[in-house]
Amino acid sequence: MPVQHGSTASVPRRAALGGSLLVLSAALVLPLCTSGVAEALPQPAAAGRAALPAPVRITEGQVAETGPGGTIVYPSVTSCLTITVRLRDGSKVGAHASLFQVPGELRSDEILAAVKRRMARRPVAAVEVRGAVGAWYPGYFTKAIESYGEGESVPYPQRPDPDGLARAVAAGLGLPKAVRVSVEDVPDGDQTVT
C-alpha cells in the first residue's frame, strides 16, 4: 500500500467585495480542473536552511523509504517490530513487521524480501530493529504465524532473543557480516526515526 504525503491549505471559496463575488483567477482553477490532482509545490527554504522532506508514515505490514535527512514514523507499535535500514547515502528503508497479518498487507515472512527489493543493492550502513522483542520468535521472518496449519504447533518465544532476531534480519536481507544489526526492546507507542 503506498504511503501518502501531502499538506492541506485553506483557501476561501468565495470572497465578497462591494456585494459582488470575486472569481478566482484562472491560473488557480485551471490546473486543478485539467489535471484532476492537487499537487503540493515545494516552498523555498528559509535562508541558510534546507527544506526537509515530509515524514514517511509506515503502518503495519508496509515497507517504504525516505531520502537523505528524512524521518520515518511508525505509528502504534505494540506487538510489532520495526526494521530501519540506514543506507550509506543517508536514505532509510523502513518496514513495520506485524506479528499477525493485517488484511491486504505483508505478512511477517514476506516483509524482509520486500525490504531487500527496496534496498536495491545499495550499500547499507546499519540496521535497527525495535519493538516488542519478547513477542517475536526469529522464525516468524521465514514462516508467519498464519502459515501454520490446523494441528501444527506454532513456536512461541520462551524468552526474548535479540541475537536470534538480529541473525534472522541479517540473513533475510542478505547483509554482509560487517553490517551491524541492533535490536532494542521499546515500549508500546509511536516510533520516530530521524
Residues in the chain, overall count = 194
Indicate which CATH number applies to the domain containing 173: 3.30.1330
Torsion 164-166-168-174 (CA) sign? negative
Give the Cα separation of 146 and 89 in Å (integer).
36
Q: Which amino acid is at 143?
A: K
Give the Cα separation of 135 and 45 in Å (integer).
44
Q: Which amino acid is at 58?
A: I
Question: Could you tell me the pLDDT band of residue 49, with boundaries at 50, 70 and 90?
Answer: low
Q: Provide the residue range defining the domain that includes 70.
A: 56-193
What are 56's three cell numbers?
A: 514517511
Asked if residue 72 is part of any domain, the answer here is: yes
Backbone φ, ψ for residue 158 (5° rounding):
-85, -25
Question: Could you tell me the pLDDT band of residue 53, with boundaries at 50, 70 and 90?
Answer: confident
| Of 141, 128, 136, residue with least CA distance to 184 | 128
Checking if the pLDDT of 3 tops 70, the result is: no
Average pLDDT over residues 32-50: 44
Read off the pLDDT of residues 57-111 as tens digits, 9 standing for 90 and up. 999 999 999 999 999 999 999 999 999 999 999 999 999 999 999 999 999 999 9
Asked if residue 125 is part of any domain, the answer here is: yes
Asked if residue 11 is part of any domain, the answer here is: no
What are 173's three cell numbers?
A: 536481507
Partner residues linked to 61 by β-bridges? none
Quote the pTM value: 0.74
Tally of structural domains, the chain: 1
Question: Could you tell me the pLDDT band of residue 48, with boundaries at 50, 70 and 90?
Answer: low
Asked if residue 149 is part of any domain, the answer here is: yes
* Three-class SS state of 144: coil
